[in-house]
Amino acid sequence: MRPGMIILLILAVSAIAFAGCTETPSMSSQNGGPVGIGGGSFATGPTVTLPPEQNVEIQVNEKDPIYATITVVFAGGKGQIAVRDILVRVTTSDGKVTEQHLPPQKGSEVVFKGTKGDDRLEVTVTLTTGATYKIIDRIIPYRTRG
């Protein structure tokens, strides 16, 4: 064999060997699950309770069995006047992250397009004081009728 062929063969084998080593840390979560754009994952984190005088209720409906939509409703509460913003984030099972702002008026709602798999829902409330609280972080399963 000629030396040029040996060098090409070594380069080809090296390229194949290193091809699987190109994944960056942001492409997978620490537990090996999928991570969407924006850092969403399916490992739910801790939540906190709002102070009693600033408590609000956020209602999360079951995922629609036909269209897989997720509806989140602001149900009011004692601290409704102290809420500046409510950020609702859904990470779908295919890794897509969607965020919407839920107006802090009783009865207002946002609807997300979910998947026919498990999706993650996070709700973060920002008060007029500037304090931020993640009050909901849970998996929303897909359930069929019956």
pLDDT in tens, 9-19: 676 666 565 55
CA distance 63 to 71: 7
pLDDT in tens, 17-26: 555 544 433 3
Q: Please tell me the CATH superfamily of domain 52-140, with its number.
A: Immunoglobulins (2.60.40.10)
pLDDT in tens, 86-131: 999 999 999 999 999 999 999 999 999 999 999 999 999 999 999 9
CA distance 25 to 74: 36
DSSP SS3 for 132: strand
User: Residue 35, class by beta-carbon neighbours within 10 Å (0-12 exposed, 13-18 middle, 19+ buried)?
Assistant: buried
pTM over 0.75: no
What are the domain boundaries of the chain? Answer: 52-140
